Amino acid sequence: MQGGSSGIGYGLKYQARCISDVKADTDHTSFITGTLSLREENEVHLIRLSSGGTELICEGLFSHPNEIWDLSSCPFDQRIFSTVFSTGESYGAAIWQIPELYGQLNSPQLERIASLDAHVGKINCVLWWPSGRHDKLISIDDENLFLWSLDCSKKAAQVQSKESSGMLHYLSGGAWDPHDVNAVAATCESSVQFWDLRTMKKTSAIERAHIRNANYDMKKKHILVTAEDESGIHIWDLRKPKIPVKELPGHTHWTWAVTCNPEYDGLILSAGTDSTVNLWLAPISAGDEPNSEA
């Protein structure tokens, strides 16, 4: 409610680029974060908000082989998460599982459930379906979209289908539509492409350059929020993809990431390179304002 709140801090030893909230853990507010260090030993931390809500406690500390560029927690199993990592020269992606009873082991090690090893070149991110139990994964690299079927019990992931995004379209990331398990949005250099996973073909696109991050609204269908480098935040109705429904100023420099609140309509959280996090109230039918910064 007040601008410029200070928040609760947690320190990692090295720089980190990724943090993911553990949706599947409904008893606590937990996050998984991974470090990005080129020359040192990388780690994954499982942190939890204390019951008093005053501090973040590290529940688990695991070592991870390489620097982590993308990390995403599985929405239906709180011990499973995916990472995209790099040795500096090559990239890899894998699904990991935190061992049971990790709190009691001396030095718990992550179990590698599956490797997504069909990629050549730079991998951008791995997407889980955000709305429930689904045994498929999407991984996006610079030029291709892969659909994997994951079997956690058999510890195997197989490529189900793969499609290239076409010449001169470099993909950078994406988001899975929580309302339609067959629709996925992929952000690319000059547009956001929408794919149908059953046919692996593009269905439509929003022409807009330099979108860094896109996120679907969990409550309303057809609403997509995008963060663009310099132009701020835009809210789109996918049925009319020519002009955005609403524009928010974003940040002083780039807007890096944006998410919609899954519970409250119109609450949008954005993070930018000007070292601030803004909370926006933008219900689709009324006005908007930034609320707080940190």
Partner 1 sequence: MGTDDVPLDDKAKRMRDLLSSFYSPDPSSTPNAPSKHGTLDAINTTSFDPDQYMNLLVQKSNLEALLKRHVEMAAEIKNLDTDLQMLVYENYNKFISATDSIKRMKSNIVGMEANMGQLLDKIMSVQSRSDGVNTSLFEKREHIEKLHRTRNLLRKVQFIYDLPARLGKCIKSEAYADAVKFYTGAMPIFKAYGDSSFQDCKRASEDAVAIIVKNLQGKLFSDSESIQARAEAAVLLKQLDFPASVREFAEAIRAYRIIFPDSGRQLITLAQDLVINHFETTEQYVKRRISSANLLGVLRTIWADVLLMDEVLHEAVLPDFSLEAAQGAVKKYVASTFTYLLQDISDVLLRVNVSPKEAAEEHPLQVALEASRKAVLQGSMDVLLDFCQFLDDDLGLLVKLRDFIIDWVQEGFQGFLSALDDRFLLLSGRKNSSSPDQGLTEGAHSEKVLAGLVLVLAQLSIFIEQTVIPRITEEIAASFSGGGARGIENGPAFVPGEICRIFRSAGEKLLHHYVNMRTQRVSALLRKRFSTPNWVKHKEPREVHMFVDLFLQELKAIGIEVKQILPQGLLRKHWRSDSNGSTTSSRSNPLRDDKMSRSNTQRARSQLLETHLAKLFKQKVEIFTKVEYTQESVVTTIVKLCLKSLQEFVRLQTFNRSGFQQIQLDIQFLRTPLKEIVEDEAVIDFLLDEVIVAASERCLDPTPLEPPILDRLIQAKLAKLKEQNPITP
Contact residues toward partner 1 (CB under 8 A) are: 15, 38-39, 86, 88-89, 207, 229-231, 242-244, 247, 252-254, 273-274
The token pair at 85 is 């990592």
In the bound state with partner 1, the residue whose beta carbon lies nearer, of 130 and 173, is: 173
By CB atoms closer than 10 A (0-12, 13-18, 19+), residue 233 is buried
Cβ at position 34, least distance to partner 1 in Å: 16
Cβ at position 14, least distance to partner 1 in Å: 9
**Residues contacting 51, CB < 8 A, separation 6+:** none
Cβ at position 98, least distance to partner 1 in Å: 28
For the beta carbon of residue 109, count every other beta carbon within 10 angstroms: 12
In the bound state with partner 1, the residue whose beta carbon lies nearer, of 160 and 190, is: 190
**Residues contacting 290, CB < 8 A, separation 6+:** 248, 249, 278, 279, 280
- Amino acid found at 14: Y
In the bound state with partner 1, the residue whose beta carbon lies nearer, of 196 and 293, is: 293
Q: How far is Cα 123 from Cα 92, in angstroms, rounded to an integer?
A: 7
Cβ at position 253, least distance to partner 1 in Å: 5
Cβ at position 252, least distance to partner 1 in Å: 4
In the bound state with partner 1, the residue whose beta carbon lies nearer, of 72 and 255, is: 255
**Residues contacting 257, CB < 8 A, separation 6+:** 212, 213, 227, 270, 271
In the bound state with partner 1, the residue whose beta carbon lies nearer, of 108 and 244, is: 244
Cβ at position 44, least distance to partner 1 in Å: 20
Cβ at position 165, least distance to partner 1 in Å: 16
In the bound state with partner 1, the residue whose beta carbon lies nearer, of 154 and 253, is: 253
In the bound state with partner 1, the residue whose beta carbon lies nearer, of 43 and 137, is: 43
